[in-house]
Amino acid sequence: MYNLLKGKRGIIFGALDENSIAWKTAERVHEEGGKFVLTNAPVAMRMGQIKNLAEKTGSEIIPADATNMDDLENLITKSVEILGGKLDFVLHSIGMSVNVRKNIPYTESNYANTEKGWDVSALSFHKLCQVLYKNDAMNEWGSIVALTYMAAQRTFPDYNDMADNKAYLESIARSFGYFFGKDKKVRVNTISQSPTPTTAGQGVKGFGGFIAYADAMSPLGNATALDCANYTVSLFSDLTRKVTMQNLYHDGGFSSTGVSNEVIERFS
């Protein structure tokens, strides 16, 4: 380990279980010397094992609904108090689609479901950034990262309205990234990760087949949750101070590959 985050403080959203990218990130941040508060929605916390992660990393847990401004205000205020100063990093690893969960096709979207998923998956990132910004809660050269997926740029039919949510999320990172950079010297980026067998990811129809296809299409193979955690650590560190407002593909080369020999052979 390299002590890349020694002395740095932050918040990690979305750790559910050992399959979570947020979980792996928390472990890696801890190994690199960073301190953090863990947070998730109360209902998600009941489903997962976040208490085990807190014990392992010596972290405190503050439940928060990321769509609720009062919860976010409380989270940021208490985190600064617990950690003993302003924040250096924040990970937004949240996503949910009611339409996907209920197997409602994109062409038949229930719009109440759509709005709820949009609020959780995308608008929550704007709300989080706004609370951090208004409370001047980030140290200069701090780093805010959100996780996204390439369905924001390309069509994956069964990804449903989550594709729209991710496109909106990426736009927020660019727009808020401008103001955070100019006014606070804080970075805001998104990581476009390979399909990853997290609890949420496996809820997408046909996920098993798609993850195999993506692996066959990617020159380096799919990036794992641990790979993503390592990449996130690099973005939290001082080594990437001038990287901001970027959607960074972390997918083994999938996003730049038109077709692979493996796929050609499969259909020949």
CATH number, domain containing residue 71 = 3.40.50.720
Phi-psi region of 159 (alpha: psi -120 to 50; beta: other; left: phi over 0): alpha
Residue 88: its pLDDT value, please?
99
How many structural domains compose the chain? 1
Structural domain contains residue 254:
yes
pLDDT digit string, tens, across residues 224-240: 999 999 999 999 999 99
Q: Give the single-character DSSP code of 194.
A: P
Q: Is 20 annotated as a binding residue?
A: yes
Band (139; pLDDT cuts 50, 70, 90): very high
Structural domain contains residue 1:
no
**Segment (H or E) for 178:** helix 162-184
Residue 201: its pLDDT value, please?
63
Residue 45: its pLDDT value, please?
79
3-state class (DSSP) for residue 143: strand
Catalytically annotated residue among 159, 168, 178, 213: 159
Structural domain contains residue 15:
yes
Residues making up the chain, counted from first to last? 268
Active site residue 133: no
Residue 200: its pLDDT value, please?
67
Structural domain contains residue 59:
yes
Segment among 13-27, 50-64, 198-212 with least mean pLDDT: 198-212
Q: Is 109 annotated as a binding residue?
A: no
Q: Is 59 annotated as a binding residue?
A: no
Judge contact between 125 and 169, C-beta under 8 A. Answer: yes
Catalytically annotated residue among 149, 168, 231, 249: 149
Q: Is 24 annotated as a binding residue?
A: no
Structural domain contains residue 219:
yes
Residue 32: its pLDDT value, please?
98
Can you tell me the distance from the alpha carbon of 73 to that of 176, in angstroms, rounded to the nearest whole number?
18
Can you tell me the distance from the alpha carbon of 21 to that of 90, in angstroms, rounded to the nearest whole number?
14
Structural domain contains residue 2:
no
pLDDT digit string, tens, across residues 188-212: 999 999 999 887 666 666 778 889 9
Model confidence pTM above 0.85 = yes
Structural domain contains residue 55:
yes
Structural domain of 22: 7-265
Can you tell me the distance from the alpha carbon of 76 to that of 37, in angstroms, rounded to the nearest whole number?
10
What is the mean pLDDT of the segment spanning 40-61? 91
Average pLDDT, the chain: 95
Residue 202: its pLDDT value, please?
62
Active site residue 111: no
Q: Is 82 annotated as a binding residue?
A: no
Residue 44: its pLDDT value, please?
80
Band (175; pLDDT cuts 50, 70, 90): very high
Judge contact between 164 and 115, C-beta under 8 A. Answer: no
Structural domain contains residue 20:
yes
Residue 17: its pLDDT value, please?
93
Contacts 24+ apart (CB under 8 A), 182-186: 183/133, 184/133, 184/136, 184/138, 184/140, 184/142, 185/140, 185/141, 186/138, 186/140, 186/141, 186/142, 186/143, 186/144, 186/244
